[in-house]
Chains A and B, each alone.
Chain A
């Protein structure tokens, strides 16, 4: 496997590692952008108004659907109607499944993030004369951001994992090496594909963890530069909102209301 990975030809050849990596990222990013564009505003609205919670329940129930089955079902349904060139016939069903898959965690994260904003904070914003839309944008969203990110991160993992399985249909991406290696009994290639997918998933999670660190306000995350820690964290807005987790873990506290997101692929 190491030998296979060390062969520069396997990286730069057409359809090689670099090509498939680019394809994999492309499928994943398209799906995530669409899912965020749909789930984030809807989630903010549900959280802000408290109406439409059933949407979250429906989205969560969808998680019981087997992703592979959905993928193959959509492919079989759509394939006769798609006459585009190249990958379109595989890409469209895959993107639909990836978006469907990415919506529930982002939606659930956003809704519970907004709902977990302390009522006093919301009242204070209203008392300062903010309008509903201002409260959402300037108070609720920033405060909900840690949970939004946690939803986005689990959505990203699932999308990257499922994009791998889409190679079974015939789509590109790093899953190609896994399925092609398996089919041709080239186990070095298959295992290398598996390792590359795992590395990609870990790297993507790291990037999002960094993005989270730089976008979440310090007043919310409780992260303060050294020296000011005790004084700042004891302040009214500091450590309070974070709970006892402090800086130890990046994710939100696990409660019965916000169970961790499952793997689906």
Chain B
């Protein structure tokens, strides 16, 4: 039998949190891990693919179209189909991580390609004139200049992931989404808000934290922008 907060109003979430601290923190940990890892892996995969789409004109349409198509697939469909594709158990959190990595790659391939494409031709020519090889130009000039655009895409991806992970909670994968299903099940007779509001608040806080982290990292990675705006 579950211990329940007496206060069933939305504000009962504080009591609820105290009573279920271990479980909720455990879900929060899973949730954070499942939201963040796919973004890191997705970015690492999207960078070379995006570069390919930028570097070779013929590669852009197929890569961007394929990415768009993958992005069209609803998450719940991916969550339940991935196990039969990679042979995992249905409730294995890995499925969620793989599905979200797919979305992140799909989103970022185009962002990376367009971000690299937006670097002005003069800058690229100046770099070449200074004797940079093609690879140096990419790593030292084009990629850093594309950081703000790529970061905007990463922010979208990480915030979306927090919401998507909760969807996986409805089929039973452990994460904050379980607070919603718990609240749903406890609300059969009369509304029982605490787990639901707690879940929403924690999800929003988590999304905010990730968003701030990406903004901060972008700030650190683009010192020249501060030099301009600070003067």
Inter-subunit contact B74/A164 (CB<8 Å): yes
The reply on A145 being an interface residue by CB < 8 A is: no
Contact with A along B178-220 (1 / 0, CB 8 A): 0111011001001111001101100110011001000000000
| B76–A263 CB distance below 8 A | no
Chain A 223-251 interface residues, beta-carbon cutoff 8 Å to B: 244, 248-249, 251
- B187 CB contacts on chain A under 8 angstroms: 76, 79
A187 surroundings in chain B (CB, below 8 A): 84, 90
Stretch at the interface among B16-24, B125-133, B135-143, B151-159: B151-159
Q: Is the CB of B155 within 8 A of A254?
A: no
With a cutoff of 8 Å between Cβ atoms, the chain B residues found around residue A30 in the complex are none
What's the minimum C-beta distance from B160 to chain A, rounded to whole angstroms?
A: 3
Contacts of A161 in B (CB 8 A): 74-76
Known: A194-B77, A260-B107, A265-B75. A72 touches B163 (CB 8 A): no
**In the complex, A261 Cα to B106 Cα: how many Å?**
12
Known: A76-B196, A253-B114. A262 touches B157 (CB 8 A): yes
Q: Please, which residue of chain A has its CB at the minimum distance from the CB of B198?
A: A69
Q: Which residues of A contact B114 (CB under 8 A)?
A: 253-255
Which residue of the partner chain B has the closest CB to A63? B159
Given contacts A65-B204, A255-B149, contact A77 B191 (CB under 8 A): yes
Partner of B163, one of A66, A77, A178, A261: A66
Please tell me the number of chain B residues within 8 Å of chain A, measured between CB atoms: 65
In the assembled complex, the Cα of A181 lies from the Cα of B219 at a distance in Å of 47
Query: Are B76 and A63 closer than 8 Å at their CB atoms?
Result: no
Collect the chain A residues with CB atoms within 8 Å of residue B177's CB. 66, 68-69
Contact with B along A154-166 (1 / 0, CB 8 A): 0001001100110
Interchain CB contact (< 8 A) of B180 among A72, A175, A193: A72
Given A73-B197, A76-B184, A259-B152, A205:B72 Cβ within 8 A: yes
Q: Is the interface of B mostly helix, strand, loop or mixed?
A: helix
**Contact A164/B76 with A63-B160, A256-B149 known, Cβ cut-off 8 Å:** yes
Taking CB atoms, residues of chain A closer than 8 Å to B197 are 73
Q: Are B81 and A262 in contact (CB under 8 A)?
A: no
A198 in contact with B184 (CB, 8 Å): no
Whether B60 contacts A201 by the Cβ 8 Å rule is no
Contact among A191, A201, A202, A262 with B160 in the assembled complex (CB-CB below 8 Å): A262
Across the interface, name the chain A residue whose C-beta is closest to B177.
A68
Interface centre among A68, A202, A248, A253 (most CB of B within 10 A): A68
Find out whether the CB atom of B157 lies under 8 angstroms from the CB atom of A249. no
Q: A64-B159, A76-B183, A265-B74 are in contact. Are A182 and B69 (CB under 8 A)?
A: no
Distance (Å) between the CB of B172 and the closest chain A CB?
8
Whether B170 pairs with A68 at a CB distance below 8 angstroms is yes
For B69, the chain A residues whose CB sits under 8 A away are: 202
Is the CB–CB distance between A165 and B203 below 8 Å? no
Minimum CB–CB distance for A64 against chain B, Å: 4
A121 within 8 Å of B (CB atoms): no
| Residues from 47 to 69 in B contacting A, C-beta threshold 8 Å | 60-61, 64-65, 68-69
A75 within 8 A of B: yes
B200 touches A178 (CB 8 A): no
Instruction: Please indicate the chain A residues that have their CB under 8 angstroms from the CB of B144 in the complex.
Output: none
With beta carbons under 8 angstroms apart, the residue of B84, B176, B204 that contacts A64 is B204
Q: In whole angstroms, how far apart are the Cα atoms of A202 and B143 in the complex?
A: 32
Contact A66-B200, Cβ < 8 Å, known A75-B184, A195-B81: yes
- B193 in contact with A76 (CB, 8 Å): yes
- A191 adjacent to B81 (CB under 8 Å): yes
CB of B27 within 8 Å of the partner chain:
no
Residue contacts A-B, CB under 8 angstroms, 23 given? A64-B204, A64-B207, A66-B180, A66-B204, A68-B169, A73-B197, A76-B184, A76-B187, A161-B75, A161-B76, A194-B76, A197-B76, A251-B68, A254-B110, A255-B114, A256-B152, A259-B111, A259-B153, A260-B156, A261-B156, A264-B160, A264-B163, A264-B164
Q: A244-B117, A248-B64, A256-B152 are in contact. List 15 more A-B contacts (CB 8 A).
A: A65-B200, A69-B196, A72-B183, A80-B191, A168-B181, A178-B76, A182-B171, A191-B81, A193-B80, A254-B149, A259-B111, A261-B156, A262-B156, A264-B163, A265-B163
